[in-house]
A and B are shown apart, each in its own frame.
Chain A
Amino acid sequence: MAAGGIDALGQFQLHPALGPIGASVNFTQSNLMMVVAGVLVFGLLWLGARPKAMVPGRLQSAAEMSYETVLGMCTETIGPEGRSYFPFVFTLFFFILFGNLLGVFPYFFTFTSHIAVTLALTVFVVGLVTVVGLWTHGLHFFSYFVPQGVPAVLLPLLVPIEVLSYVSRLISLSVRLFANMMAGHVMLEVFGAFVIMLGSAGIIFWLPAGFSLAVNVALIGFELLVATLQAYVFAILTCIYLHDAVHLH
């Protein structure tokens, strides 16, 4: 960190990981963290499910609780049909949750802080929701865009608005996750830079430097909250969209 300025966005730069092999196929640290997140989720469930104890231990409890939480989310939001979409929502929720949480560790990278990643996830979600709607309702699915109880004169105005509202999910869902994760890490970087700049500026600045450090500690806690909340919001909104596609309105 140069004393001249704060490079708050440099942390989001991609670098090749895994040496020359990774560099040759453009395997970045972001991809590496995705693999780590996937392996951790898989490991949690694999190791958690292995004991098959009647009275679960800690790891088994964690695995069972995560399973039941997401299952409850699916069935409560989507309805009885929600069980069919449970694997999808579970994968999505834990991939994002672990991605967000891994970003809090030093030297790690938050892959959800890139709009390319979140937009890809969102395109997949909205695409799946559309396919589910078409699959369950056929062409009747398009009645989703026609509000009920509206005079026919207004339909040419209202149908485009509904369609735009539907398509804008792509942006709102992806930007929400990306903006939250990026903003948090920029704040961390800025206050971390304050600590170094003030601390090296002389003894009278040590008090504000300590204050910045305290802020950073609080921000880490806040980041943990945001990481969990945003993963939850992403998953629950996916469930709501699936509910709308399955039930139409």
Chain B
Amino acid sequence: MSEEPGDEEEPPSFEERLKAARSRQGLDAPPPLTARNAGGMDGMSPWGIGLRVGIELVSALVVAVAIGWGLGYLFGGKPIFIAVFVLLGGAAGVLNVWRLFAPRPTRDRGR
């Protein structure tokens, strides 16, 4: 508040204080998400972002190759599984990166 004792501001009404308290306790719908944008990538250096993108790409590929190799092993050493899953894994990696950078929808309700 200001220094002059003259202008006394109206104290916040009960509704306002209740609203503030409720949002503080997380009882109301949260304000537009900020932390969700880019999953905590806000303060990251370009190097950090690059590392994250690389990890996303590679990890999807690693999982896919592991699954493809396992299926091929189970079904008698056929290389078709690993061939298919490498492609799927690459696509999943790109999907992960897209999720990382995609513009977030402004919290549409009821989905």
Give the interface of A toward B (CB within 8 A): 71, 73-77, 79-80, 82-83, 160-162, 164-165, 167-172, 175-176, 179-180, 229, 232-233, 236-237, 239-240, 243, 247-249
Contact A76 B92 (CB under 8 A): no
- B: number of interface residues (CB 8 Å): 36
Known: A75-B30, A167-B63. A162 touches B95 (CB 8 A): yes
Contact B33 A76 (CB under 8 A): yes
In the complex, which residues of chain A have a beta carbon less than 8 angstroms from the beta carbon of B64? Answer: 164, 168
Cα–Cα, bound, A233→B45 (Å): 14
In the complex, which residues of chain B have a beta carbon less than 8 angstroms from the beta carbon of A179? Answer: 51, 55
Interface positions of B from 19 to 46, Cβ below 8 Å from A = 26-31, 33-36, 39-40, 43-44
Cα–Cα, bound, A82→B44 (Å): 25
Q: Is the interface of A mostly helix, strand, loop or mixed?
A: helix
Contact B96 A82 (CB under 8 A): no
Contact B59 A172 (CB under 8 A): yes
Contact A171 B63 (CB under 8 A): yes
Give the interface of B toward A (CB within 8 A): 26-31, 33-36, 39-40, 43-44, 48, 51-52, 55-56, 58-60, 62-64, 67, 85, 88-89, 91-93, 95-96, 99, 111
Cα–Cα, bound, A228→B8 (Å): 44
Contact B88 A172 (CB under 8 A): no
Task: Give the Cβ gap from A172 to chain B, nearest Cβ, in Å.
Answer: 4
Contact A171 B62 (CB under 8 A): yes
Cα–Cα, bound, A12→B55 (Å): 22
Task: Give the Cβ gap from B102 to chain A, nearest Cβ, in Å.
Answer: 12
Which residue in A80, A164, A249 is a CB contact (below 8 Å) of B60? A164
In the complex, which residues of chain B have a beta carbon less than 8 angstroms from the beta carbon of A168? Answer: 56, 59-60, 62-64, 89, 92-93, 96
Cα–Cα, bound, A22→B96 (Å): 42
Known: A76-B30, A172-B56. A164 touches B39 (CB 8 A): no
